[in-house]
Amino acid sequence: MHSIGKFATSLVTREKIPYMQDDIVKYIMGDEEDKKGLYIPTGTFITAYAREKTIRTSQAIKDYSIKTYGEDKYCYSDTDSIHTTLPIEDLLKFCEIDDVKLGFWKIESKFRKAKFIRQKCYLEDIYDEKEKDYKVKITCAGMPESCYQYVTWDTFKTGFSCKGKLTYKTVKGGVKLVETEFTIKDDMIKKNIEKF
């Protein structure tokens, strides 16, 4: 069985070829080569269908909550998820929910408080079924767990910066890990607005 990503992989590949310069390993890109792929339209269709379903469901939740409750209870969508404060009884009007059925939605968590900054960058105070209590869940692309200790509800915003992120630096004899800062940048938001 193949994952969806395998269907949509590029049919062109390039190798990184290592070489030594001043006792430092460096790389150059090799020539492009064709590789055997699966069936790209499969990956394209599944991705487009999932995106269309997510967008239409998100919009329906937004419209329904404004009409029914006088407020927008839609919060955020990702490639395969919707975050909303709409009660489960209302959600069932828009979403087929089941943990294992193909094409159905799964309830992964319930939050009572959340803060959404941009794509894949948010905090949620979610209910932990095992501990029977709420705890903060950090979702932030590129942020390592070593930075989580610096995150608070007040500091988690565009421009937030902290130490604790490790990156590699090429040195004589190989590479070494050096500490650097992690920052939530607003570049992504600006780029998306410009593209839109």
Does pTM surpass 0.85?
no
| pLDDT per residue of the chain (196 residues) written in tens, 0 to 9 | 446 777 777 788 889 988 888 777 788 998 888 888 778 888 888 888 888 999 999 999 999 999 999 999 999 998 778 999 999 999 999 888 888 888 888 888 889 999 999 889 999 999 888 888 999 999 999 999 999 999 999 999 999 999 989 888 877 777 788 888 999 987 655 666 676 6
Cα torsion 34, 39, 41, 42 to 10°: value is -140
CB 162 within 8 A of CB 144: no
Tokens representing 67 are 């009409």
CA dihedral (62, 118, 150, 135) positive or negative: positive
